Structures are given as structure tokens and as C-alpha cells.
Amino acid sequence: MSTDIVSVDIGGTHARFAIASIGADGTIELGEPETLHTEDHASFQTAWEDFRERQGGSLPEAVSMAIAGPVGGDVIRFTNNPWVIRPALVCSKLGVSRYKIVNDFEAVAHAVARAPDDQFLHLTGPEGPLPDTGRITVLGPGTGLGVAYLFRQPGHYRVQATEGGHIDFAPLDQIEDAILARLRKRHNRVSAERVVSGPAIVDIYQTLAAMEKKSVPERDDVDLWTTGMSGEDSLAAAAVDRFCLSLGSVAGDLALAQGGFQGVVIAGGLGYRIRDTLIGSGFAERFRAKGRFESLMASIPVKLITQPQPGLFGAAAAFARDHGVSQ
């Protein structure tokens, strides 16, 4: 007998919904996801009601939410959007009887734990599947920079959400010094997320333009990613390459900090979008460039998860574990 729930993945820009069916053996099947823009809804409740209408006016009586930001306490505030959720009111506000709330990258780590080997793209390090035992670092750029880790043991795993995206950004060359200097004009403290996230491409691009003494118009991150990925704009393409370098550096730093020596997984919509660029960029060299630990870094397999909806899938997996149904 299967259990149907609403699985939700809420980020800074989008809220994704899907009906998930959890089998008695723990297998998870996701229905067709619906993506709503957070800016189009005053609250999570109104977004929920919108999704409910799209589903014909009724939903399952259980929900699992993956949320971009810390999930403890009586009030949950999102890192990159203005919504607020009060866990004590979830059942009455949404009309459900059971719920689960996890950090968005805690959910992604659940997806990493459960995804089959063919849903990982190899980026660097030793070939082959991720090990069944040990710690794996999980990170992904999007509206912000999500970070978690996964610890595997035979027949069991556990995940831990972190706020690793808010570690200090550490520049490695003169260009990154210039990016840091630009950001320091607006922020007393510059975190890794300020450089390794989707919106960060704007500051990277503007820094490169200033270094070349070029006057460029104001452009948003969507435009820069599009023209940079296509090669239509050489300066935007240089900004994308620089982003990949910084992502490699931060991924390596997090692996060292967390002890993710059995593997590192890049996740998130932006990570998937730039997957081919990552392979051909300096990402791998920057990941390994850790001085005396370069040989250790070279021994770590680095993958990119290609599961199409890891947040939704992982939220359902977290619910299954919490309610005693898991593989």
C-alpha cells in the first residue's frame, strides 16, 4: 500500500510542488511538478492554495517541505524570500494531518543518498560510483549557495543540513581580489554565497568589465547566464568561467571542512545547467588546489546529480524516513 503526500521545494525564486507516492518498500514516484514564482504569492499558504486549485481542488493530507534556510524554531524565515512559516500552524493552515520540514539541501542530501548511479555525472577525481560508506559533501548554487553532508554506513545513512554557504569567501588571484573589493563596498563581510550563486554572475561580470575599462549596461543575471553559456558575449562567457573556478575552490574548501573525503556532489538547477561548462572549465584544478592536501583532493570523486527534481524527491525521502517507510 502506498502513501501519497505533497512534496514541496521552496527556494528564493521558485516554489516547486508535486504529488509523491511512497511505496510500502520505500520507493518514491513523483508526479509532474508545478513551479510557482515566490514573488507572485504573498505567502506559502496562497501558493499552496494555487497548487491545490491546479490539482482540481484537493490534495493529500500530508506534506513534506524542503525550505531554503534554517528550519528550527517557532517561526521559519526564508533566506532569500519574504515568506514566513509557523510550524505549529501548518496542519490548520494547509488542511493536512502530517507534515515534515527540512532544510532544502538536507532534502538534496536525501536525494543523493537514494539516487541510482546513473543519475550522477562524473566531474573529476576517481571514476566509479560514490562509495557506500563514509561522508559526502553536497552543495549547489542557486539563488543562494546550499550546503549539507551525507554520512553513509552499510544499510543506513544520515544527513545534516548546514549553512556552509555563508563561510568567508577566500580569493586566490588578482581577479578574485577585485571581485572581493567590489563586494566589500556593499558588504562588510563577503561570504562564499556572494560569489558562488546565480545572482553573483552580475558582480563577476561588472568586475571583469571594470578591469578591461569597458562601460557596459546594467544586465540581470538571467541575461548574463544565457549569453555567457551560449558564447554570444565573450565577457559574459569569461564571467561564467570565473564562476566555475570559484565554485571549484569553494567545493574543495567545504570538503576539507566537513571531511567529505568519500565524495562531493554538486546539485541544484544552476549546477545542472552549467554541467558541460564545468567539465571543460578550471573547476577540477581549483578543487584540487589545496596546497599540501592536493593529493588528498585528487582522490575525492566529484559528481553532479542529474536527478531532475532532487529537492522534491529528497523531501519525500525525508518524510518516508520520519514515518518509518524507507529503503
Q: Which tens digits make up the pLDDT trace of 165-175?
A: 999 999 999 99
Is residue 10 a known part of a binding site?
Answer: yes
- Which H or E element spans position 181? helix 174-184
Side-chain half-sphere CA neighbours of 104 within 13 A: 32
User: What region does 251 belong to: left with phi over 0, alpha with psi -120 to 50, or beta?
Assistant: alpha
Beta-strand pair 145-153/156-162: antiparallel
Q: Which tens digits make up the pLDDT trace of 26-45?
A: 889 999 999 999 999 999 99
Q: What percent of the chain has pLDDT over 90?
A: 85
Q: Which tens digits make up the pLDDT trace of 294-314?
A: 999 999 999 999 998 999 999
3-state secondary structure of 182: helix
Q: What mean pLDDT is predicted for residues 240-250? A: 98
Is residue 8 a known part of a binding site?
Answer: yes
Neighbours of 247 (CB within 10 A): 27
Is residue 73 a known part of a binding site?
Answer: no
Is residue 220 a known part of a binding site?
Answer: no
Res. 151: pLDDT tops 90: yes
Is residue 74 a known part of a binding site?
Answer: no
Res. 268: pLDDT tops 90: no
Query: Are the C-beta atoms of residues 324 and 23 closer than 8 Å to each other?
Result: no
∠ CA 105-144-192, nearest 5°, is 100
pLDDT of residue 199: 96
Is residue 117 a known part of a binding site?
Answer: no
Q: What mean pLDDT is predicted for residues 150-171? A: 94
Closest CA to 239 of 144, 173, 175: 175
Domains and CATH numbers, the chain: 3-103 (3.30.420.40), 164-305 (3.40.367.20)
pLDDT of residue 324: 64
pLDDT of residue 322: 83
The CA-atom distances, in angstroms, between 249 and each of 178, 236, 252, 283 are 16, 20, 5, 8
Return mean pLDDT, the chain.
94
Tell me the range of 82-86, 199-203, 267-271 where mean pLDDT is highest: 199-203
Q: What percent of the chain has pLDDT over 70?
A: 98
Q: How confident is the model at residue 325 (pLDDT cuts 50, 70, 90)?
A: low
Task: Compute CA 88 distance to the chain's CA centroid, rounded to the nearest angstrom.
Answer: 27
Sign of CA pseudo-dihedral 82, 224, 209, 214? negative
